[in-house]
Amino acid sequence: MSAPTNALKAALKRGETQIGCWASFADPYATEVLSTAEFDWILIDAEHSPNDLRTIMHQLQILEGKRSDAVVRLPMGEDWLIKQVLDAGAQSLLIPMVETAEQARDLVRATRYPPEGIRGSGAALARSSMFASRKDYIETANAEICLIIQVETRAALAALDDILAVDGVDAVFIGPSD
């Protein structure tokens, strides 16, 4: 079994407008309530909300199989944190405070298994592979990761064309002060 198809990524590739909602409650029950509104995506915010790996994972579990796709906004673009949330089951990430194409390329590499990237291959222990029951997860996961870059500064706006040209960046969210 392959990595699940990322409906948000596919819709963005087709140029379809997607409407979503921020989930800043750090609580799976509240996120489940939001999922009944049938947004295209629900963003689990770990930058300005008290979410941690466990609360993110529980909300990912709640959203699995629902109409709304989960997007996780991390507080920063650190390789180790990206690996943890991807292993917990996230397929779409929003990374804040990206200012250069070089940063964007590093983020793409952090979300991809080798040889395309540096994501550690502990998939046998990961929820994302259903604990190794998705036999070809590692071979198919890279194509289903949706990376959204958050541009928040004038320096980032000046580098926007270069950031948009980075292969593996699926969307850019322009959000100073979010």
Tally of CA atoms within 13 A in the half-sphere of 133 that contains its CB = 5
48 classed as catalytic: yes
Task: Kindly give, in sequence order, each residue whose CB lies less than 8 Å from that of residue 39, ignoring residues fewer than 6 positions away.
Answer: 19, 20, 21, 67, 68
The mean pLDDT of 127-154, rounded to a whole number, is 91
CATH topology of domain 7-174: TIM Barrel (3.20.20)
Task: Give the Cα separation of 159 and 178 in Å (integer).
Answer: 19
How many other CB atoms are found less than 10 A from the CB of residue 152?
A: 17
First to last CA, the chain: 37
Query: pLDDT value at position 2?
Result: 87
Q: Residue 130: pLDDT above 90?
A: no
Give me the pLDDT at residue 135, please: 85
Whether residue 104 contacts residue 166, with contact meaning beta carbons closer than 8 Å, is answered with: yes
pTM of the model: 0.95
> How many CA atoms are closer than 13 Å to the CA of 168, on its beta-carbon side?
19
Dihedral sign (CA 22, 178, 16, 168): negative
- pLDDT of residue 122 exceeding 90: no
Check whether 116 has a pLDDT greater than 90: yes
Compute the C-alpha angle 123/102/142, nearest 5°. 25
pLDDT tens digit sequence for 50-78: 999 999 999 999 999 999 999 999 999 99
Choose the catalytic residue: 29, 37, 48, 143.
Answer: 48
